[in-house]
Structure 1
Amino acid sequence: MVHALANTSSGSVGVSAGSSAATASRRLASTLSHLSSGNDGAAMAKATPIERITIFGGGLMGAGIAQSAAQYGFKVTLCDVSSKALDNARDIISRSIARVAKRAYPDPHSSSAPEHERKRVEDQRRVLVEGVWGRIKLTTDTEGAVRGSSGAESTDLHSEPTQLVIEAIVEDLQIKRALFQRVDEFAVDGCIFATNTSSLSVADIAEGVRESRRARFGGLHFFNRTPQMKLVEVIRTDQTSEETFQALLDVCARMKKKAVKCKDTPGFIVNRLLVPYMAEADIDIAMKLGAAMGPIELTDFVGLDTTKHILDGWREKLKAAQSSVENTETQKTANLPAALVEPSPMLEKLVKEGKLGHKTGEGFLKHRK
């Protein structure tokens, strides 16, 4: 993800504070143009509050979104293609919610605390964990996950059609379109669709559904790790209705997330700032400057494959924008500097070797799993 990093040696380092500040100012000014122009003063469109959510993708993002939603009372169906994928999701959620429970109900301060006090804490943790799992259903049945289920495996919580579908699968335009096209066959007319894409055009993904669904299609870009990260980018396309946009904002608020309204532009807001920061890094320590992570460490945490997808997607859009004079969506990418999205030999090499960062134990750095 880091083009300049590929050419960085362990020798001398030159970082110009003035140059960096000027670059940051220009980038921030550019980024402000990507804030959504939604009417903040408009009264929220009246609609039935969303209670039932179906999430496709049981990886870190999908599992994290499922946990966060269930933790705040939503009825969640988490769907993936195999039992193995669901077992992985179950493990991710179990470990995460155990940490949440321990933070919510810490051990007694005194090592000599009476047994009944320790048991009370254990019971409180158990109730929290069981409450979350009581609102989550894991399934490989795509149709049942959307239409609702009946029969031996059904529960009262998950027998009705879903009201919101959130996609959190691989960052590939065609695969996302294919999923939404299939889901569109099963979903009720009022169901809202949202993609968790970090870099692809939401409008491009929405081309996989029928025209009448596109008013109920938007973006919900959660951040890793979702249970801890409060920020969510809520993205509207030119076709997203105000009712849909407000419903997505309401879901975020009820999940205790901080929603940022975004236009459907490359990288939205955060990646618009974050990816260039990582891609233009000189060295990790010099660029921390009071931040929690430097760009190399941050790239490993985000995922080298995710970063590569973002840069590849931006590069393709830039090529399309340079050759198009009519397509409004691709023209939005025209202001990306070409040097910003050049391939990074080191990034390409590490991804090819399967060294994807924190999730695989090694990327630019080595990590304890």
Structure 2
Amino acid sequence: MTITSIGIIGAGTMGNGIAQVAASAGYDVLLLDVNDAALEKGLAALSNSLDRLIKKEVMNVEQKSQTLARIKTTTHYADLAQVSLVIEAATENQAIKESILQQVDQVVSKDAIIASNTSSISITHLGSRNSRPERFIGIHFFNPPPLMALIEVIMGKQTSPETLKAVLAMATRMGKEPITVQSSPGFVVNRILLPMINEAFFVLHEGIASPEDIDTGMKLGCNHPIGPLALADLIGLDTCLAIMEVYHKEFKDDKYRPSPYLIDLVAKGHLGRKTGRGVYAYDKK
């Protein structure tokens, strides 16, 4: 079981970032989204990311051209029939992911591996909806994929050792450090990280300290490179809320109850950097 080509569904921040990493590692990539405008936007972001690497002298112009040449785009699921791995990188919404994965299952070859880039949803559950659950796995890239070294590789109850081996080999070829975890809401990193971020929103909501002082406290007191509230803005407050709602539902434990202040910001459309305002205000340019 060898991965030679990769289909990626979703050209947003995670999708185009994964496409960049895969193509830079020499894989042929097929990037799929709902329309050409979304694909063009994703490719533009990817190209800008490569330009930043050129500026840092991590990559040269020729390598950028070679990377972009390995990426094709499509709006048709049927085009995924020839790839050996499909990574679903849609928004963190279980119903959306299930719908996408069902369409993928209908068109890929019997030898293909199907993966979800979920950060919180059960791989065992998603795999149970697949006709070949032994070839279903979780591959959790961290944001932004080109810069973050870690990949969580998540085993569902039905995932075969051969599928795991193939994905670990792919991650290593990409220059990433994979860790293998069992399917459980949040897996390892987000299971620890998101409740901490959520608690920072409770502290803020209770008026214990300002956003700046909360973030400074965690940076200097715990040696974190970025404070939890600034990190939430980077991740997206809607994503943080969605993950905490999954934990609350799955674990049935109120220690995972989302902060009312987080809920309120999301309801207002203050989602963080991507909207220009979250806990902090940003220049959208």
Normalising by structure 1, what TM-score?
A: 0.71
Whether the 8 Å CA contact 2:198–2:258 is kept in 1: the answer is no
**Aligned residue in 1 for 2:62:** 127
Q: Tell me what 2:167 maps to.
A: 248
| Residue number among 203, 215, 225 corresponding to 1:284 in the alignment | 215
Percent of counterpart pairs with the same letter? 40
Asked if residue 186 in structure 1 is aligned to residue 113 in structure 2, the reply is no
Q: Is the 8 A contact 1:177 1:206 kept in 2?
A: no
* Superposition pairs of residues 211-250 of structure 1, within 5 angstroms: 213-250=132-169
Is residue 2:103 matched to residue 1:103? Answer: no
| Residue 269 in structure 1 maps to residue 188 in structure 2 | yes
Q: TM-score, normalised by structure 2?
A: 0.91
* Runs of 4 or more above 4 Å deviation: none
- C-alpha distance in 2, partners of 1:343/1:53? 35
Deviations 1:57-96 (A, max 9, x none): 0100000000000011000000000111111101110110
SS in 2 for 1:220: strand
Q: Distance in 1 between matches of 2:142 and 2:258?
A: 24
Correspondence 1:153-232 to 2 at 5 A = 161-210=82-131, 213-232=132-151
Q: Which residue of 1 aligns with 2:41?
A: 88
- Provide the C-alpha distance between the structure 2 equivalents of 1:254 and 1:182, rounded to a whole number of angstroms: 28
The whole-number CA distance in structure 2 between the counterparts of 1:242 and 1:190 is 15
Partner of 2:5: 52
Shift of 1:343: 2.9
Tell me the alpha carbon deviations over residues 6-44 of structure 1, each in whole angstroms, 9 at most, x when there is no partner: xxxxxxxxxxxxxxxxxxxxxxxxxxxxxxxxxxxxxxx
Q: Identify unmatched segments of 5+ residues in structure 1.
A: 1-46, 106-123, 148-160, 320-337
Shift of 1:138: 1.2
Q: Which has the higher Rg, Structure 1 or Structure 2?
A: 1
Structure 1 counterpart of 2:269, which letter? G
TM-align CA RMSD: 1.3
* 1:61 has 2:22 as partner: no
SS in 2 for 1:280: helix
Aligned residues: 270
For 1:368 and 1:129, locate their aligned partners in 2 and report how far apart those are by CA, in whole Å: 28
Indicate if the aligned counterparts of 1:162 and 1:187 stay in contact, CA closer than 8 A: yes
Q: Which moved more, 1:215-224 or 1:282-291?
A: 282-291
Bigger relative contact order, structure 1 or 2, given CA contacts below 8 A and separation 6+? Answer: 1
One-letter code aligned to 1:293 = I
TM-superposed deviation, 1:365: 0.9
Give 3-state SS (helix, strand or coil) of 2:120's partner. coil
Match of residue 363 from structure 1: 278
DSSP-derived class of the 1:85 partner = helix
CA distance in 1, matches of 2:72, 2:99: 23
Say which SS state the counterpart of residue 261 (structure 1) adopts.
strand
**Secondary structure, counterpart of 1:262 in structure 2:** strand
1:299 paired with 2:218, answer no
Work out whether residues 300 and 358 of structure 1, in 8 Å CA contact, stay in contact via their aligned partners in 2: yes
- Structure 2 gaps, min length 5: 204-213
Preserved CA contact (<8 Å) 1:55 1:167: yes
Separation in structure 2 between the aligned mates of residue 171 and residue 207 of structure 1, nearest angstrom: 18
Partners in 2 of 1:63 and 1:89 — Cα distance? Answer: 6
